[in-house]
C-alpha cells in the first residue's frame, strides 16, 4: 500500500491525467535539453582535443620533415696520393696521421675544379663562398671513408658530399635570398651558385637516413647532426628499465596484493607508492645524481645511470597498474584454486597472474613510454653532454656516455643555428614513432593475452 497522501483536491490531479505521450511536458523537455547540452559539451571537448592534436602533428611534421631530407653535392674528387698518403704504403695506421684539414683542401680543390668545369659565372662570387658550399663535416666523412678503404687513394671517385646547412635550408625553403643577404654564413651569390649547380643535377635533395644513424654534430654543422647516439642511449635505458622495473614492480605488486598482511605498515607503503608516483621527475634526477653517481661512483652520462633513475621513476606506475590489474581478477578464481588445494603461490602464478597479464603489460608499457619521453632527470645525471661516440654493445656499453632522444631534442632547441630547430622537430618525430610503436605493441599484447572466455 502506498503511503502517499491522496490528493485533496481532485482538480490538482487533473493535468497528470490529461498528459499525452505524444507531447513532452516541461520537465521532460528541460531534462532533454540538459542532456543535449551535456552531449554537446562532450563533443566540443573531444573536438578541441582533436584539433590540438592535429595542430601539434602538423606543426611538428612540417617543421621536422626537413630533417629527413638532405641536400648532397655530387662531384668527382681526386684523392691525391701525395697529400693523403705521404708514406705511400696505404697503411691505415700511417694514413690516420693525416689530418682532416688536408682532406678539406682536397675537397676544396675538387669543388673549385668542378665549378670551373661547369662554366658557371656569378658576379661577386668569392672563393670562400664556393668553399663554403660544402659542409665542414664533409672532409671528416671523406677521411673516414678513405681510412676504411685505403685503396681509394690515388683514384678519382664520384662523391656525394654534404652541403652547408644554409644551402640545405635554401632547398628546403628555410633560407631565402633576402635572409641570405643578412647572413654572415652565406650570401645570395652562394645560393645562386647552388641554384645553378642544382639545375645541372649536381645538387640533389634526397631521403636522409643519416639523420637516424649519425651522432650529434657541433653547432656549426647542423647538416651532419643525427639522432643515432640518442636512439641507442634511449634504447639502452629502456633495456635497463625493462630488466629492473618490470620484475621488481610486478614482484612488489604481487606481494602487496596477494601475500602481505593488511596492516598499518602496508597502508603506509601503499600511500607512499602513490606519493612516489606524483613526485616530480627532476627530484628523481637529483636522487640519481646523489645516489648513483656521487655515492656509488657510476659514470656520468651513462645509460645505466639514466636507466636506474628511470627505473625508480617508473616503478610506482608499474606497481599501481599491476595492483589494479591483480585486484580486477575476481576473488572467486582465487577461492577456486585454494579450494582444490593449490597453495597461495600456485593460485597466484597459475590463475591470477595470467588473468592480470594484459593489464600488467599495458601498465608496464605505459610506464616505459613515460620513461622514454622523460627529460628532466637525465639532465641532472649528465646525459645532456655532447656525445659523438656511439656507446659499445651492452652490457659494457651501458657504462659508455650516451645521449637520449628527449634530451637531444632539448639540446638542439638550445642551439643558435635555426637548422637545429628542424633537427629537433625531426627528433620529436622519431620519438613519437617509437612511442606509437610501443603503444601498438601494448595493444597487440593485450589482444594476444586477453582470454575471451
Partner 1 sequence: MNDMSVLERAVSQQDIKISARKVQVYYGDKHALKDVDVDILDKTVTAFIGPSGCGKSTFLRCINRMNDTIPAARVEGEIRLDGEDVYDRRVDPVQLRAKVGMVFQKPNPFPKSIYDNVAYGPRIHGLARNRAELDEIVEKSLRGAALWNEVKDRLGEPGTGLSGGQQQRLCIARAVATSPEVLLMDEPCSALDPIATAQVEELIDELRSRFSVVIVTHSMQQAARVSQKTAFFHLGNLVEYGETDDIFTKPQDSRTEAYISGRIG
- Which CB sits closer to partner 1, 247 or 330? 330
Residue 335 as a binder of partner 1 (CB under 8 A): the answer is yes
- Which CB sits closer to partner 1, 243 or 265? 265
CA angle in degrees (0–180, nearest 5) for 435-439-444 = 145
CB of 21 to partner 1, least distance (A): 37
Among candidate residues 206, 116, 219, the one with its CA nearest the CA of residue 168: 206
CB of 331 to partner 1, least distance (A): 9
Per CB under 8 A, contacts with partner 1 among 145-174 are none
CB of 341 to partner 1, least distance (A): 4
- Which CB sits closer to partner 1, 97 or 451? 451
Q: Which of 261, 295, 297, 396 binds partner 1 (CB under 8 A)?
A: 261
Per CB under 8 A, contacts with partner 1 among 262-291 are 262
- Which CB sits closer to partner 1, 9 or 332? 332
Residue 276 neighbours by CB under 8 Å, 6+ apart = 315, 316
CB of 447 to partner 1, least distance (A): 16
- Which CB sits closer to partner 1, 244 or 342? 342
CB of 246 to partner 1, least distance (A): 24
Per CB under 8 A, contacts with partner 1 among 338-377 are 338-343, 346, 350-351, 355
CB 214 within 8 A of CB 224: yes
Residue 446 as a binder of partner 1 (CB under 8 A): the answer is no
Residue 332 as a binder of partner 1 (CB under 8 A): the answer is yes
- Which CB sits closer to partner 1, 212 or 260? 260
Per CB under 8 A, contacts with partner 1 among 382-421 are none
Site size toward partner 1 (CB under 8 A) is 21
CB of 267 to partner 1, least distance (A): 13
DSSP characters over 77-133: EE--HHHH-TT-S--HHHHTTS-HHHHHHHHHHHHHHHHHHHT---TT--HHHHHTT
87-93, Cβ contacts within 8 angstroms, sequence gap of 24 or more: 90/150, 90/151, 90/153, 91/150, 92/147, 92/150
Strand-pairing partners, residue 204, are 72
> Three cell numbers at 104?
678539406
For 135, the 3-state DSSP assignment is coil
> Three cell numbers at 361?
603489460
CB of 63 to partner 1, least distance (A): 49
Neighbours of 55 (CB within 10 A): 10
CB of 347 to partner 1, least distance (A): 10
The packing angle between helices 228-254 and 405-413, to 10°, is: 130
Segment near partner 1 (CB under 8 A); pick from 4-12, 66-74, 291-299, 337-345: 337-345
- Which CB sits closer to partner 1, 209 or 259? 259
CB 236 within 8 A of CB 398: yes
Helix (H) or strand (E) holding 213: helix 210-213
Segment near partner 1 (CB under 8 A); pick from 20-28, 201-209, 328-336, 436-444: 328-336
CB of 264 to partner 1, least distance (A): 13
- Which CB sits closer to partner 1, 128 or 451? 451
DSSP characters over 146-195: HHH-GGGTTSEEEEEEEBPHHHHHHHTTSS-HHHHHT-TT--HHHHHHHH
Residue 42 neighbours by CB under 8 Å, 6+ apart = none
Q: Which of 328, 336, 433, 443 binds partner 1 (CB under 8 A)?
A: 336
- Which CB sits closer to partner 1, 42 or 339? 339
- Which CB sits closer to partner 1, 17 or 332? 332
Q: Strands across the sheet with 156-162, in order?
A: 156-162, 69-78, 203-207
Alpha carbons 5 and 18: distance in angstroms, whole number: 21
Neighbours of 286 (CB within 10 A): 15
- Which CB sits closer to partner 1, 207 or 453? 453
CB of 351 to partner 1, least distance (A): 6
Interface positions with partner 1 (CB under 8 A): 261-262, 330, 332-343, 346, 350-351, 355, 451, 453
Amino acid at each position: 500500500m502506498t503511503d502517499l497522501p491522496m490528493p485533496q483536491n481532485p482538480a490538482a490531479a487533473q493535468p497528470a491525467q490529461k498528459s499525452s505521450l505524444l507531447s513532452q511536458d516541461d520537465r521532460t523537455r528541460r531534462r532533454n535539453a540538459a542532456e543535449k547540452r551535456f552531449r554537446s559539451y562532450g563533443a566540443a571537448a573531444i573536438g578541441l582535443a582533436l584539433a590540438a592534436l592535429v595542430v601539434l602533428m602538423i606543426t611538428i611534421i612540417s617543421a621536422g620533415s626537413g630533417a629527413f631530407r638532405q641536400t648532397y653535392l655530387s662531384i668527382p674528387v681526386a684523392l691525391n696520393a701525395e697529400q693523403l698518403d705521404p708514406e705511400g704504403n696505404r697503411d691505415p695506421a700511417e694514413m690516420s696521421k693525416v689530418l682532416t684539414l688536408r682532406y678539406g683542401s682536397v675537397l676544396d680543390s675538387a669543388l673549385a675544379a668542378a665549378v670551373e668545369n661547369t662554366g658557371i659565372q656569378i658576379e661577386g662570387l668569392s672563393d670562400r663562398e664556393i668553399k663554403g658550399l660544402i659542409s665542414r663535416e664533409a672532409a671528416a666523412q671523406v677521411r673516414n671513408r678513405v681510412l676504411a678503404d685505403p685503396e681509394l687513394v690515388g683514384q678519382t671517385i664520384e662523391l656525394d658530399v654534404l652541403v652547408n646547412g644554409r644551402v640545405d635550408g635554401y632547398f628546403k625553403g628555410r633560407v631565402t635570398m633576402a635572409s641570405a643577404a643578412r647572413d654572415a654564413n652565406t650570401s645570395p651569390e652562394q645560393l645562386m651558385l647552388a641554384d645553378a649547380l642544382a639545375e645541372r643535377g649536381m645538387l640533389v635533395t634526397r631521403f636522409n637516413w643519416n639523420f637516424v644513424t649519425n651522432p650529434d654534430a657541433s653547432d656549426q654543422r647542423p647538416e651532419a647532426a643525427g639522432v643515432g647516439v640518442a636512439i641507442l642511449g634511449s634504447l639502452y635505458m629502456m633495456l635497463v628499465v625493462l630488466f629492473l622495473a618490470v620484475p621488481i614492480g610486478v614482484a612488489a605488486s604481487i606481494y602487496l596484493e596477494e601475500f602481505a598482511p593488511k596492516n598499518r605498515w602496508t597502508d603506509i607503503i601503499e600511500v607512499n607508492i602513490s606519493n612516489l608516483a606524483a613526485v616530480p621527475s627532476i627530484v628523481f634526477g637529483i636522487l640519481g645524481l646523489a645516489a648513483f653517481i656521487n655515492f656509488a661512483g657510476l659514470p656520468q652520462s651513462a645509460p645505466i645511470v639514466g636507466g636506474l633513475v628511470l627505473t625508480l621513476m617508473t616503478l610506482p606506475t608499474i606497481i599501481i597498474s599491476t595492483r589494479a590489474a591483480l585486484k580486477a581478477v575476481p576473488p572467486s578464481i582465487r577461492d577456486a584454486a585454494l579450494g582444490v588445494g593449490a597453495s597461495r603461490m600456485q593460485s597466484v602464478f597459475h590463475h591470477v597472474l595470467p588473468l592480470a597479464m594484459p593489464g600488467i603489460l599495458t601498465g608496464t608499457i605505459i610506464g616505459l613510454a613515460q620513461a622514454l619521453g622523460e627529460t628532466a632527470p637525465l639532465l641532472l645525471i649528465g646525459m645532456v653532454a655532447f656525445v659523438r661516440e656511439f656507446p659499445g654493445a651492452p652490457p659494457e656499453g651501458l657504462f659508455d656516455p650516451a645521449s637520449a632522444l628527449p634530451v637531444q631534442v632539448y639540446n638542439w632547441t638550445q642551439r643558435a643555428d635555426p637548422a637545429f630547430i628542424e633537427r629537433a622537430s625531426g627528433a620529436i618525430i622519431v620519438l613519437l614513432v617509437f612511442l606509437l610503436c610501443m603503444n601498438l605493441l601494448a595493444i597487440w599484447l593485450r589482444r594476444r593475452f586477453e582470454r575471451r572466455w
